[in-house]
Structure 1
Amino acid sequence: MAQQYVDMDTLKFLLYRVHDLQTVLDQARYADYDQASVDLFLNATKDFSDKELFPFFREMDAAPAHFKEGEIIVHPQVEKYMKKAGEMGLIAALFDYEVGGLQMPNTVVSAAAYIQETANNHLPGYVGLTNGAAELIIHFGSKALNETYVPKMLTGDWGGTMCLTEPQAGSSLSDIITVAEQAEDGYTISGQKIFISGGDYREAENIVHLVLARIKGAPAGTKGISLFVVPKKRRTENGDLISNDVNTVGDFQKMGQKGYCTTHLSFGDEKDCKGWLVGEANQGLKYMFMMMNGARIAVGRGAAAITMAAYQASLAYAKERPQGRSLTRTGKKDVSQEQTLIINHPDVKRMLLFQKVVSEGALSLVLLTAKYHDLSTTHADPKEREKYLLLLEMLTPIVKTYPSEMGSVSVSNGLQVLGGYGFCTDFILQQYFRDIRIFPIYEGTTGIQSLDLLGRKVTMENGKGVLLLSEEIGKTIREALGIDTLAPYAKQLSGKLELSQEVLQFLIPFVKKGDYQRFLSDATVFMEFFGNIVVGWLWLNISIQAEKALVSGETQYTGDFYTSKIHAMKFYFKYELPKTTALAEILTNKEVLTVAEENSWFA
Structure 2
Amino acid sequence: MTFFSKRDLYFQLFENHQIVELTQFVYFKDHNKETFEFVLDAAEKISTNHLYPLLIEMDRNEPQLINGKIKVHIGMKDIIRRFGEDGWINATFSYEEGGQQLPNVVHQAAGFIFQAANYSASVFPFLTTGAANLIRNFGSRELIERFTPNMYSGKWQGTMALTEPDAGSSLSDLSTTAFPTDNQGIYKIKGQKIYISCGDHDACENIIHLMLARIEGAPLGTKGISLFVVPQKRVPSCKDNDVLTQGIYHKMGYKGAPIAHLMMGTNDSCEGYLVGEPNKGLTYMFQMMNEARVGVGMNACAIGTAAYYASLAYAKERPQGRKLTDKDPSMPQVPIIEHADVKRMLLFQKSVTEGALSLLLYCSKLSDLIHVKNQQEKEDLSLLLDLLTPIAKTYPSEMGCLSTSAAVQVLGGAGYTTDFPVEQYYREARIHPIHEGTTGIHGMDLLGRKVLIKEGKALKLLLGEINKTLEEAYSIPSLLEKGKQLGFYLSVVQKTFGLLIKKSSTNTEAYLADATLFLEIMGIIVISWQWLKQGIVAKKALDENKDPRGFYMGKIMCLRYFFEYELVKVDGLSKRLNSDDQVTIEMKKEWF
TM-score class, shorter: over 0.9
1:87-106 equivalences in 2 (<5 Å): 87-106=85-104
Please tell me the residue identity of whatever aligns with 2:390: P
Equivalent position of 2:564 in the other structure? 574
Please tell me the residue identity of whatever aligns with 2:244: N
Please tell me the residue identity of whatever aligns with 1:341: P
Please tell me the residue identity of whatever aligns with 1:313: A
Please tell me the residue identity of whatever aligns with 1:161: T
1:564 to 554, 558, 566: 554
Alpha-carbon separation, structure 1, partners of 2:589 and 2:300:
35
Please tell me the residue identity of whatever aligns with 1:170: G
Alpha-carbon separation, structure 1, partners of 2:590 and 2:86:
59
Alpha-carbon separation, structure 1, partners of 2:51 and 2:246:
29
Equivalent position of 1:357 in the other structure? 351
Equivalent position of 1:523 in the other structure? 515
Q: Is the 8 A contact 1:27 1:378 kept in 2?
A: yes
How many residues matched?
590
Equivalent position of 1:212 in the other structure? 212
Structure 2, unmatched stretches of 5+, are none
Equivalent position of 1:554 in the other structure? 546
Equivalent position of 1:499 in the other structure? 492
2:584 to 583, 594, 599: 594
Q: State the SS of the aligned residue for 1:242.
A: coil
2:340 to 346, 351, 358: 346
Q: Does 2:392 match 1:388?
A: no
Equivalent position of 1:370 in the other structure? 364
Q: Is the 8 A contact 1:191 1:268 kept in 2?
A: yes
CA drift of 1:96 comes to 1.1
Equivalent position of 1:293 in the other structure? 290
1:301-340 equivalences in 2 (<5 Å): 301-328=298-325, 333-340=327-334
Please tell me the residue identity of whatever aligns with 2:232: K
Equivalent position of 1:407 in the other structure? 400
Q: Deviations over 1:80-108 (max 9, x none)?
A: 11100011111011111111111111101
Equivalent position of 2:524 in the other structure? 532
Q: Is the 8 A contact 1:65 1:72 kept in 2?
A: yes
Equivalent position of 2:19 in the other structure? 21
1:423-572 equivalences in 2 (<5 Å): 423-513=416-506, 515-555=507-547, 558-572=548-562
Q: Is the 8 A contact 1:300 1:401 kept in 2?
A: yes
Q: Is the 8 A contact 1:327 1:334 kept in 2?
A: no
CA drift of 1:482 comes to 0.4
Q: Is the 8 A contact 2:433 2:439 kept in 1?
A: yes
Q: Is the 8 A contact 2:64 2:70 kept in 1?
A: yes
Q: Deviations over 1:406-441 (max 9, x none)?
A: 111000001000000000011100000000101100
Q: Does 2:272 match 1:275?
A: yes
Q: State the SS of the aligned residue for 1:45.
A: helix
Alpha-carbon separation, structure 2, partners of 1:124 and 1:576:
31
Q: State the SS of the aligned residue for 2:432.
A: coil
Alpha-carbon separation, structure 2, partners of 1:510 and 1:187:
46
CA drift of 1:599 comes to 2.3
Q: Is the 8 A contact 2:230 2:273 kept in 1?
A: yes
2:415 to 409, 422, 440: 422
Q: Deviations over 1:170-201 (max 9, x none)?
A: 10000000010011231000000000001000
Q: State the SS of the aligned residue for 1:475.
A: helix
Q: Deviations over 1:103-149 (max 9, x none)?
A: 11110100010010000000111111100000000000001100000
CA drift of 1:384 comes to 1.6
CA drift of 1:333 comes to 2.6
Q: Deviations over 1:533-567 (max 9, x none)?
A: 10000000000000111112234xx0111111001
Q: Does 2:71 match 1:73?
A: yes
CA drift of 1:327 comes to 1.6
Equivalent position of 1:189 in the other structure? 189
Alpha-carbon separation, structure 1, partners of 2:32 and 2:15:
14
TM normalised by structure 1 equals 0.97
Alpha-carbon separation, structure 2, partners of 1:590 and 1:399:
29
Equivalent position of 1:225 in the other structure? 225
Q: State the SS of the aligned residue for 2:191.
A: strand
Please tell me the residue identity of whatever aligns with 1:73: K
Q: Does 2:232 match 1:242?
A: no
Seq. identity, %: 48
Alpha-carbon separation, structure 2, partners of 1:203 and 1:586:
50
Q: Does 2:153 match 1:155?
A: yes
Alpha-carbon separation, structure 2, partners of 1:252 and 1:44:
33
Alpha-carbon separation, structure 1, partners of 2:380 and 2:211:
32
Please tell me the residue identity of whatever aligns with 2:552: Y
More helix by share: 2
Q: Deviations over 1:314-364 (max 9, x none)?
A: 000000000111122xxx632010011000011000000000000101111
Q: State the SS of the aligned residue for 2:571.
A: helix
Equivalent position of 1:146 in the other structure? 144
Alpha-carbon separation, structure 1, partners of 2:237 and 2:223:
36
Instruction: Please provide the CA RMSD for this pair.
Output: 0.9
Q: Is the 8 A contact 1:224 1:282 kept in 2?
A: yes
Please tell me the residue identity of whatever aligns with 1:546: A
**After TM superposition, where is structure 1 displaced by more than 3 Å over at least 4 residues in a row?**
none
Alpha-carbon separation, structure 2, partners of 1:462 and 1:22:
34
Q: Deviations over 1:13-48 (max 9, x none)?
A: 001111110232222210111111100111111011
When structure 1 is superposed on structure 2, of 272-281 and 75-84 the one drifting more is 75-84
CA drift of 1:591 comes to 1.1
Q: Is the 8 A contact 2:154 2:204 kept in 1?
A: no
Alpha-carbon separation, structure 1, partners of 2:23 and 2:556:
28
Q: State the SS of the aligned residue for 2:239.
A: strand
